[in-house]
Amino acid sequence: MKGAIVLAAGNSRRFGSDKRKAKLSNGKMILESALEKALYNFEHVILTLRHDDQTIKEEFKSRYKEAALTIILAPDSAMGMGHSLANSFSKVNGWEGAFVCLADMPNIQDHTFKKLVHQLTPNHIVLPVHRGHQGHPVGFGRDFFDQLSALRGDIGARGLLAANSYAVKEIDVSDSGVLQDIDLPEDIVSSDP
What is the residue-level pLDDT of the chain in tens, covering all 193 positions?
Answer: 999 999 999 876 667 677 888 898 888 999 999 999 999 999 999 999 999 999 999 999 999 999 999 999 998 887 888 889 999 999 998 999 999 999 999 999 999 999 999 999 999 999 999 999 999 999 999 999 999 999 887 777 888 999 999 999 999 999 999 999 887 777 775 444 4
Question: How far apart, in whole angstroms, are the C-alpha atoms of residue 19 and residue 29?
Answer: 8
Question: How far apart, in whole angstroms, are the C-alpha atoms of residue 144 and residue 123?
Answer: 8
Q: Are 136 and 102 in contact (CB under 8 A)?
A: yes
Region for 80 from its dihedrals, namely left if φ exceeds 0, alpha if ψ lies in -120 to 50, beta otherwise:
left
Peptide bond into 106 cis (omega under 30): no
Question: How far apart, in whole angstroms, are the C-alpha atoms of residue 11 and residue 24?
Answer: 19
pLDDT tens, residue by residue, 108-126: 999 999 999 999 999 999 9
Q: Are 8 and 103 in contact (CB under 8 A)?
A: yes
pTM (2 decimals)?
0.92
> What per-residue confidence (pLDDT) applies to 13?
67
Which segments of 32-159 are extended strands (E)? 45-49, 69-73, 97-102, 125-130, 133-134, 138-141
